[in-house]
Amino acid sequence: MAIGNLVPMLTGNQVAPEADLERERRVAAQAGLVVTGADPLNCETPPPALGGEVTPTARFYRRNHFPIPLLDGVAWRLRVGGLVERPLSLSLHELTQLPAESTVVTLECAGNGRAQFQPPTAGVQWGVGAVGTAEWTGARLADVLARAGIRPGAREVIFGGADCGRADGAEGAIRFERSLAVDDAVQAGALLAYGMNGEPLPARYGYPLRLVVPGWYAVASVKWLTDIRVVEEPFDGFFQASHYVYEWNRGGVTATEPVRLQQVRALITRPGSGQDLACGALNVRGVAWSGAAPIERVDVSVAGGPWQEARLLGVATAHGWQQWEFLATGLSPGPVSIRARATDLAGQIQPEQPEWNRLGYAANFIHEIQLHLH
Ligand SMILES: Nc1nc2c(c(=O)[nH]1)N[C@H]1C(S)=C(S)[C@@H](COP(=O)(O)O)O[C@H]1N2
Ligand SMILES: [Mo]
């Protein structure tokens, strides 16, 4: 049976046509995104295109495990079942009638930065641009769960996407599914988002509905959400238990832990690496974020010099990145490297060398750009 035919069986929804891959590639290229995987399409945002409080939707990175399903927002329903008092089947219209919340949230792929790990790790070889910030609008997950009523004994909440296919190391066709512990599902401030940057959520970002879990690596933010199941047993799905898990080798012993919060990281967005610029005062700009706590400070080092504190810009949002700037002076002609390092209010500092792990997650290396001054 073709994989496409499995979709309705797996999701209980209608067969979803797939987005045209050629067109998706063209649209991404036109927006200046860098392709890191052609099929399914994966692409990242060059740092100079990231800056600002939010990332324009067209330039927001894309991380897909399967073809993009084109769902019919009229026929679509969100089903909430399992260990609940009142199973629900909600239309998009009904979801928009619930109290709406708009929150600026930074999403970052757990594999962002992976290409820097030595020795190399398997998986999409992301540079540093598998990250973006958007204003997401939706209903609160906690409200929908309260409406369904979680029954005693419930342990996890599984979120099912409408996309499915084959994955290396998995048997047969599987869906994209992820779970959260009940407490996280209720307390993380997660949204069931139908809006992105003031527009309806586009198909490639999860239309008609995606989960957005602030502060967590974006694998938690399931796109094309069709069902929510409250369960008693720990969920052992492929994307929960076999992937998106740190696997460290500590003193010959393997330690594992599922990825959760985004690790602290700063990026220099301007100037772009490789630029040839006139000598003189140089305005360096960037963004910084951490899933654990707001950013406390960002430090910049020019040409291997001491760390100097950058200025934090604008109003800090609870879950969106912090913009910053730094004025570099006294520069001389020739090549120069500039580095930026973030520290969060939980006391975490970006490490020189993030701990290598088999699948290459949380590669929050200190960002460095190279310039040539004349
Ligand atoms: N249904 C579904 N949801 C998904 C994924 C997916 O492949 N399918 N990828 C996850 C991962 S690993 C990331 S990093 C983000 C990417 O979101 P974006 O494509 O909107 O940037 O979506 C997450 N949600
Ligand atoms: Mo990801």
Which CATH number belongs to the domain containing residue 329 in this structure? 2.60.40.650
**pLDDT value of residue 330:** 87
Q: How far apart are CA 213 and CA 261, in angstroms?
A: 10
- Per the structure block, which two tokens stand in for 55? 């990332």
How far away, in angstroms, is 223 Cα from ligand 1 center?
Answer: 6
CB under 5 Å of ion ligand 2: residues: 63, 109, 219
Rg (CA), the chain: 21
DSSP state of 252: T
Question: Does 256 reside within a domain?
Answer: no
Count the neighbouring beta carbons within 10 Å of the beta carbon of residue 309. Answer: 12
Please give the tally of structural domains in the chain: 2
**pLDDT value of residue 315:** 84
Residues 177 and 122 placed together within one structural domain of the fold = yes
Residues 216 and 344 placed together within one structural domain of the fold = no
Give yes or no for residue 223 CB within 6 A of ligand 1: yes
* CATH number of the domain residue 59 falls in: 3.90.420.10
How far away, in angstroms, is 151 Cα from ligand 2 center?
Answer: 31
Question: Does 248 reside within a domain?
Answer: no
Residues 205 and 340 placed together within one structural domain of the fold = no
Give yes or no for residue 133 CB within 6 A of ligand 1: no
Count the neighbouring beta carbons within 10 Å of the beta carbon of residue 271. Answer: 18
How far away, in angstroms, is 346 Cα from ligand 2 center?
Answer: 24
Residues 202 and 304 placed together within one structural domain of the fold = no
Task: Give the number of the atom of ligand 1 that is nearest the alpha carbon of residue 162.
Answer: 1
The tens digit of pLDDT for each residue in 263-284 reads: 999 999 999 999 999 998 999 9
**Protein residue closest via CA to atom 20 of ligand 1:** 205
Our mutation pick for probing the ligand 1 site, out of 63, 174, 201, counting the most ligand atoms within 8 A of Cβ, is 63
How far away, in angstroms, is 244 Cα from ligand 2 center?
Answer: 8
Question: Does 55 reside within a domain?
Answer: yes
Question: Does 76 reside within a domain?
Answer: yes
Report the SS3 class of residue 172. coil
Q: How far apart are CA 181 and CA 150, in angstroms?
A: 12
Q: How far apart are CA 170 and CA 172, in angstroms?
A: 7
**Protein residue closest via CA to atom 18 of ligand 1:** 62
Give yes or no for residue 219 CB within 6 A of ligand 1: yes
Burial per residue of 125-160, b for 16 or more beta-carbon CB atoms within 10 angstroms, e otherwise: bbbbbbbbbbbbbbbbbeebbeebebeeebebbbbb
Which ligand is the nearest neighbour of the Cα of 177? Answer: 1
Residues 232 and 295 placed together within one structural domain of the fold = no
Question: Does 109 reside within a domain?
Answer: yes
Give yes or no for residue 45 CB within 6 A of ligand 1: no
Question: Does 236 reside within a domain?
Answer: yes
Residues 291 and 155 placed together within one structural domain of the fold = no
Residues 285 and 214 placed together within one structural domain of the fold = no
**Protein residue closest via CA to atom 12 of ligand 1:** 219
Task: For the chain, give the percent of residues with pLDDT over 70.
Answer: 96
**pLDDT value of residue 16:** 86
How far away, in angstroms, is 185 Cα from ligand 2 center?
Answer: 19
Report the SS3 class of residue 242. helix
- Per the structure block, which two tokens stand in for 159? 């979120």
The tens digit of pLDDT for each residue in 167-203 reads: 989 999 999 999 999 999 999 999 999 999 999 999 9
**pLDDT value of residue 91:** 98
Our mutation pick for probing the ligand 1 site, out of 221, 224, 226, 244, counting the most ligand atoms within 8 A of Cβ, is 221
Residues 186 and 307 placed together within one structural domain of the fold = no
Residues 296 and 239 placed together within one structural domain of the fold = no
Facing residues of 135 across strands? 104
Q: Which of 141, 158, 146 is nearest to 227 (CA)?
A: 158
Alpha carbon of residue 5 to chain centroid: 29
Question: Does 119 reside within a domain?
Answer: yes
**pLDDT value of residue 6:** 47
Task: Give the number of the atom of ligand 1 that is nearest the alpha carbon of residue 62.
Answer: 19
Residues 197 and 335 placed together within one structural domain of the fold = no
How far away, in angstroms, is 39 Cα from ligand 2 center?
Answer: 15
Task: Give the number of the atom of ligand 1 that is nearest the alpha carbon of residue 60.
Answer: 21
Number of H helices, E strands in the chain: 5, 23
**pLDDT value of residue 14:** 53
Q: Which residue range is the domain that position 293 belongs to?
A: 265-373
Residues 213 and 315 placed together within one structural domain of the fold = no
How far away, in angstroms, is 219 Cα from ligand 2 center?
Answer: 5
Question: Does 257 reside within a domain?
Answer: no
Residues 117 and 212 placed together within one structural domain of the fold = yes
Query: pTM for the whole thing?
Result: 0.96
pLDDT along the chain (374 residues), means of 10: 44 74 97 96 97 94 98 97 98 98 98 98 97 98 98 98 94 96 98 98 98 98 98 97 96 95 98 95 97 97 97 93 96 96 97 97 98 96
